[in-house]
Every structure is written in structure tokens, then in C-alpha cells.
């Protein structure tokens, strides 16, 4: 899918769903699930979960805890927040994507 730069930036949720076609999921050594694939809206690179930054340390920490397997001992379905990071501003100065985000359910 080619990237569509004409898509207008909008910070909107696309809801949640299972891992879309063309997406891949991985588990790192600490048990954190990461997902990546093409943005359903603009076709650029999208991935999750968001990388922790100093400003978002608290949020990132709670996100990491929620992502660990022991917090969901009864099933292996994980919810990962994925965001568009296509590298284009889509008309919004400083943005690195079209603003879309969604929750991906990953069954391991």
C-alpha cells in the first residue's frame, strides 16, 4: 500500500480489533508485546506501544505493567496501543504521523 500524504491529520481512535492483515506481533525478552504494520488510514509505518519518554514515564510504566503477561494470567490476549508514525506531518506541524491510533488485540 502506497503512502497517501493527502490524508488530513486527525487525532482519532480507530477503535480496536485483531491484528490487521500485513501486521506482525513480537514479544521481547521482558514479555512486552510490540506490533507493527501499515497505517490503515494513510498506509505509512505504524507501530506500538508508544516508546516511553521522560515526560510520559508514568504513563509508559503503567502501560508496560498492563502489557505484562502476569497481569492477564488467564488468557494470552494482549491489547497494544498502536499509532501511526509514518514520518509525514499530514498538515499538523511537528506530527510524525496522521494522528490515528487504535488498540490491537494480539493472541499469542
Q: Name the site residues for Zn ion (rule: CB under 5 A).
A: 39, 41-42, 44, 84, 86, 88, 98
What's the distance, CA 95 to chain centroid?
Answer: 15
Instruction: Supply the minimum distance, in Å, between the C-beta of residue 44 and Zn ion.
Output: 4
User: Which residue, 34 or 64, has its beta carbon nearer to Zn ion?
Assistant: 34
**Measured distance CA(29)–CA(102) in Å, rounded:** 24
DSSP 10: -
User: Which residue, 66 or 103, has its beta carbon nearer to Zn ion?
Assistant: 103
**Measured distance CA(90)–CA(70) in Å, rounded:** 39
User: Which residue, 78 or 97, has its beta carbon nearer to Zn ion?
Assistant: 97
Instruction: Supply the minimum distance, in Å, between the C-beta of residue 16 and Zn ion.
Output: 17
What's the distance, CA 101 to chain centroid?
Answer: 6
Instruction: Supply the minimum distance, in Å, between the C-beta of residue 65 and Zn ion.
Output: 28
Amino acid at each position: 500500500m502506497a503512502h497517501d500524504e493527502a490524508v488530513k491529520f486527525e487525532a482519532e481512535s480507530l477503535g480496536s480489533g485483531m491484528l490487521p492483515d500485513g501486521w506482525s506481533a513480537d514479544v521481547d525478552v521482558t514479555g512486552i508485546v510490540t506490533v507493527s504494520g501499515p497505517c490503515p488510514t494513510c498506509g505509512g509505518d505504524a507501530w506500538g506501544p508508544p516508546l516511553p519518554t521522560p515526560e510520559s514515564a508514568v504513563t509508559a510504566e503503567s502501560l508496560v505493567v498492563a502489557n505484562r503477561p502476569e497481569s492477564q494470567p488467564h488468557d494470552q490476549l494482549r491489547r497494544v496501543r498502536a499509532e501511526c508514525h509514518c514520518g509525514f506531518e499530514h498538515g499538523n506541524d511537528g506530527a510524525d504521523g496522521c494522528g490515528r491510533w487504535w488498540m490491537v488485540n494480539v493472541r499469542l
